């Protein structure tokens, strides 16, 4: 009897593994058997948002990633992809840059059984927002768009029961935290009857920067997901790809769109405890952030390090554009702190820069410290 039960257990394990491998194999169509993901790189997409979306996909061992342009769409690139991401930036500008014929191609791509993820502006573009150029493919509309510049910072959200199934790593947390930057405030569309699931709820009230009304963003959808033909659409109003410890949410969203099984990522990747409180930028914070640009140009090493400490503590949106060159600052202490900033904020885009800083470093002690950050950053990759 024990042998019989053991035999049955082994059979179940083998069947489970086969089912999981079949789920991946359905979309594993490149020469190495990996799912092919494309990130739109065109006018309207913020350059850092494009970089970050690419980096987020790189942490999934079953995926490859490339960027593509509007010309690539017209030339048939969608035939070489399984899922695409429309990143943050300006939704209507992305819409114009892609062009209506190419937008039809994207819709047909999804309806044929493929997947698409929209992040912030990308989800705006998927919506059915009045007086806004959009694709009308996710069943939602944005409201209060006249206060679109309402603010940004680390925002809090809660998962619904469906969301807990997709993101079990966060299921025990009453609140989780992700960077939000002026994303859409969604409600159900009046005209497009596409049903969607709400997987997460926005719990932060973001309103200070643009003098927007209060109680507008909170209690609204944070993540929504829907079917479209044979394919799937996932819309995120916020930026997990720009949030240390939360990049993995993006490939998980891609997996949902392709009906792929959940992949457990390593502990270095999944770190939701980095942020355990809301950090919304105030007008005073924005001025302080802005002034640090001059600090990096003209400040002392101590001033530059203090600036990096503060910018990292508030997850500054602008600092990621400034820190790259600090890897090659005159001060070894600044070089060390810049490498640490990049590693601790999971900024994989600058991996080659940190490698270059390490390879070119002449001071042995500084080189050893940069190596620690380099190894820490590399640990994000499969």
Q: Write the DSSP symbol of residue 370.
A: H
* Residue-averaged pLDDT of the chain: 93
**Is position 74 within any domain?**
yes
What is the rounded distance in angstroms from the CA atom of residue 180 to the CA atom of residue 240? Answer: 8
Q: What pLDDT digit, counting tens, does each position of 248-296 carry?
A: 999 999 999 999 999 999 999 999 999 999 999 999 999 999 999 999 9
What is the rounded distance in angstroms from the CA atom of residue 278 to the CA atom of residue 265? Answer: 25
**Is position 138 within any domain?**
yes
**Is position 23 within any domain?**
no
Show the domain range for 92.
35-258
What is the rounded distance in angstroms from the CA atom of residue 222 to the CA atom of residue 240? Answer: 11
To which residue do tokens 């609204």 refer? Answer: 220
Find the CATH number of the domain harbouring 67.
Answer: 3.40.50.880
Out of 258, 274, 299, a domain closes at 258
Same domain (yes/no): 51, 135: yes
- 217 in Cβ contact with 234 (< 8 Å): no
pLDDT of res. 209 = 87
Supply the Cα-derived Rg of the chain in whole angstroms: 22
Q: In the chain, helix, strand, coil percent, each to 5?
A: 45, 20, 35
Same domain (yes/no): 155, 51: yes
**Is position 16 within any domain?**
no
Same domain (yes/no): 83, 215: yes
**Is position 314 within any domain?**
yes
Q: Write the DSSP symbol of residue 327.
A: T
pLDDT tier for residue 372 given thresholds of 50, 70 and 90:
very high
**Is position 135 within any domain?**
yes
Number of domains in the chain: 2
To which residue do tokens 């017209």 refer? Answer: 74
Same domain (yes/no): 306, 207: no
Q: What three-state secondary structure class fits 177? A: strand
Once rounded to an integer, what is the mean pLDDT over residues 62-74?
Answer: 98
What is the rounded distance in angstroms from the CA atom of residue 329 to the CA atom of residue 363? Answer: 13
Same domain (yes/no): 328, 184: no
Locate the DSSP E strands across 57-216: 63-68, 83-86, 115-119, 140-143, 152-159, 176-181, 185-188, 197-202
What is the rounded distance in angstroms from the CA atom of residue 273 to the CA atom of residue 370? Answer: 25
pLDDT of res. 32 = 78
Number of helices and strands in the chain (H, E): 14, 12
pLDDT of res. 44 = 86
Kindly report the backbone phi and psi dihedral angles of residue 163, in degrees, each rounded to the nearest multiple of 5, phi listed first: -65, -35
E strand or H helix at 154: strand 152-159
Same domain (yes/no): 138, 229: yes
What is the rounded distance in angstroms from the CA atom of residue 249 to the CA atom of residue 245? Answer: 9
pTM: 0.92
Same domain (yes/no): 189, 302: no
> Nearest Cα to 181, choosing from 71, 351, 52?
52
Same domain (yes/no): 240, 343: no
Same domain (yes/no): 87, 235: yes
**Is position 349 within any domain?**
yes
**Is position 28 within any domain?**
no
Out of 221, 243, 258, a domain closes at 258
> Nearest Cα to 158, choosing from 218, 224, 203, 198?
203
Q: What pLDDT digit, counting tens, does each position of 112-159 carry?
A: 999 999 999 999 999 999 999 999 999 999 999 999 899 999 999 999
Same domain (yes/no): 338, 217: no
Same domain (yes/no): 162, 288: no
Out of 196, 224, 258, a domain closes at 258
Classify each residue of 203-231 as buried b or exposed e, where b means 16 or more C-beta atoms within 10 Å of its C-beta: bbbbbbbeebeeebbbebbbbbbbbbeeb
Same domain (yes/no): 218, 289: no
- 96 in Cβ contact with 133 (< 8 Å): yes
Intra-chain end-to-end CA distance of the chain, in Å: 42
């Amino acid at each position: 009897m024990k042998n019989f039960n053991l035999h049955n257990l082994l059979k179940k394990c083998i069947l489970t593994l086969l089912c999981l491998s079949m789920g991946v194999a359905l979309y594993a169509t490149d020469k190495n058997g990996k799912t092919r993901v494309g990130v739109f790189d065109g006018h309207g997409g913020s350059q850092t948002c494009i970089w970050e979306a690419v980096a987020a996909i790189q942490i999934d061992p079953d995926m490859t990633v490339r960027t593509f342009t509007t010309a690539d769409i017209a030339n048939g690139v969608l035939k070489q992809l399984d899922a695409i991401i429309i990143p943050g930036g300006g939704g209507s500008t992305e819409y114009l840059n892609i062009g209506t014929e190419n937008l039809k191609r994207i819709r047909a791509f999804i309806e044929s059984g493929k997947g698409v993820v929209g992040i912030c502006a990308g989800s705006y573009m998927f919506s059915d927002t009045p007086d806004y150029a959009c694709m009308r493919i996710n069943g939602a509309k944005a409201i209060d768009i006249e206060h679109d510049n309402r603010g940004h910072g680390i925002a809090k959200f809660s998962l619904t029961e469906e969301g807990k199934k997709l993101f079990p790593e966060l299921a025990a947390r009453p609140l989780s935290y992700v960077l939000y930057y002026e994303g859409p405030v969604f409600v159900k569309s009046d005209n497009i009857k596409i049903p969607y699931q709400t997987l997460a709820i926005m719990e932060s009230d973001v309103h200070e920067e643009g003098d927007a009304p209060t109680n507008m963003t909170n209690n609204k959808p944070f993540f929504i997901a829907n079917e479209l033909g044979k394919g799937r659409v996932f819309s995120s109003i916020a930026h997990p790809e720009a949030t240390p410890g939360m990049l993995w949410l993006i490939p998980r969203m891609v997996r949902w769109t392709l009906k792929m099984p959940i992949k457990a990522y390593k502990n270095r990747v999944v770190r939701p405890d980095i942020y355990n409180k809301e950090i919304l930028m105030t007008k005073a914070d924005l001025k302080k952030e802005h002034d640090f640009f001059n600090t990096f140009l003209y400040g002392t090493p101590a001033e530059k390090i203090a600036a990096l400490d503060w910018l990292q503590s508030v997850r500054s949106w602008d600092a990621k554009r400034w820190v790259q060159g600090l890897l090659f600052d005159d001060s070894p202490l600044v070089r060390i702190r810049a490498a640490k900033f990049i590693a601790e904020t999971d900024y994989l885009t600058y991996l080659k820069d940190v490698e270059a800083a390490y390879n070119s470093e002449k001071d042995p002690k500084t080189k050893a410290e940069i190596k620690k950050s380099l190894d820490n950053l590399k640990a994000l990759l499969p």
